[in-house]
């Protein structure tokens, strides 16, 4: 069994007191990491699925310090609030890996970038190159079980405002996934809430932010009172997945 921990939408800022819709993002991330260390370590793999910073490249240094010492590879992808060139400059060294495919046990973890330069307002797009990279990776790893990670939701969150900022090319993405039954799960962030649904035999997982959450299935962006959270994903040899969202119940900043 491999233990993977997913943290997402950390929205760090250079100012350590910086907050997003009322939640200070640095202490809430620190609390999530401390909680995970106590309850769910050791981990074989850490994934951080975008919006690592809040449009503030200076904060990649903070992220580096926090994730450098966890004793596991850290797979990263940019979200709409990231600055990919600066992300590459700051975190292109071990234990970090930006994008790409990571092989561990009989699993392949495929990390896809949905950040694109012409985004108007936070929506995502894989584009031809990432879709092709996904298809190539799935062809190359037919014998493995696969977890795909990205930032934007490929399935509707049933929330109008959020879904307007989803994945523009979700249809071709889902078409590729449907041709490759070895994809056991797809995990993302962006929506700052939890979701766990199936499409066919593939499980689709949205993970809450390490800072503030949005109210599920609300047509507008409404801040939810739920605390910071992260996800534990145990990947079994036979392709089985055991996963839970861990909420920091009672968290107070």
Q: Which CB sits closer to Fe ion, 144 or 216?
A: 216
Stretch that binds Fe ion, among 10-18, 25-33, 182-190, 222-230 (CB under 5 A): 182-190
Residue 11 binding Fe ion, by CB under 5 A: no
Residues 191 and 188: their CA atoms lie apart, in Å, by 8
Q: Does 190 bind Fe ion (CB under 5 A)?
A: yes
Tell me whether residue 43 or residue 76 sits nearer to Fe ion (CB atom).
Answer: 76
The residue assigned the tokens 């190159």 is: 129
Number of Cβ within a 10 Å radius of residue 71: 12
* Pattern 53-82, Fe ion, x by CB under 5 A: --------------------------xx--
The Cα-based distances of 248 to 29, 103, 152, 180, 230 in angstroms read: 11, 30, 23, 35, 9
For the CB of residue 9, give the shortest distance to Fe ion in the complex, in Å.
6
Binding to Fe ion by residue 51, rule CB under 5 A? yes
Structural contact between residues 186 and 180, judged by C-beta atoms closer than 8 angstroms: no
**Residue indicated by tokens 């909680």:** 35
Q: Which one, of 22, 91, 80, lies nearest residue 51 by Cα?
A: 80
Residue 189 or 227 with smaller CB distance to Fe ion: 189
By beta-carbon proximity to Fe ion, the closer residue of 79 and 229 is 79
> What length does the chain have?
253
- State the minimum distance, in angstroms, from the CB of residue 153 to Fe ion: 10
Residues that bind Fe ion (CB under 5 A): 51, 79-80, 190
């Amino acid at each position: 069994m491999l233990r993977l921990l997913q943290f997402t939408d950390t929205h760090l800022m250079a100012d350590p007191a910086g907050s997003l819709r009322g939640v200070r993002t640095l202490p809430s991330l620190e609390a999530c990491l401390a909680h995970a260390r106590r309850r769910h370590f050791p981990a074989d793999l850490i994934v951080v699925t975008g919006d690592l910073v809040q449009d503030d490249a200076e904060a990649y240094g903070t992220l580096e310090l926090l994730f450098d010492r966890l004793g596991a590879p850290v797979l990263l992808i940019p979200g709409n609030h990231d600055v990919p060139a600066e992300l590459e400059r700051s975190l292109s060294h071990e234990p970090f890996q930006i994008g790409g495919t990571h092989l561990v046990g009989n699993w392949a973890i495929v990390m896809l970038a949905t950040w694109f330069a012409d985004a108007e307002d936070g929506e995502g797009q894989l584009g031809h190159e990432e879709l092709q990279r996904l298809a190539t990776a799935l062809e190359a790893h037919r014998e493995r079980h696969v977890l795909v990670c990205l930032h934007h939701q490929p399935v509707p969150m049933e929330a109008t405002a959020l879904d307007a900022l989803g994945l523009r090319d979700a249809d071709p993405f889902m078409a590729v996934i449907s041709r490759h039954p070895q994809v056991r799960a797809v995990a993302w962030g962006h929506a700052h809430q939890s979701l766990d649904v199936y499409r066919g035999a593939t499980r689709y997982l949205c993970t809450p932010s390490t800072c503030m959450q949005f109210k599920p299935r609300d047509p507008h962006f409404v801040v939810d009172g739920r605390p910071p959270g992260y996800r534990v994903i145990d990947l079994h040899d036979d392709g089985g997945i055991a996963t839970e969202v861990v909420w920091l119940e009672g968290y107070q900043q």
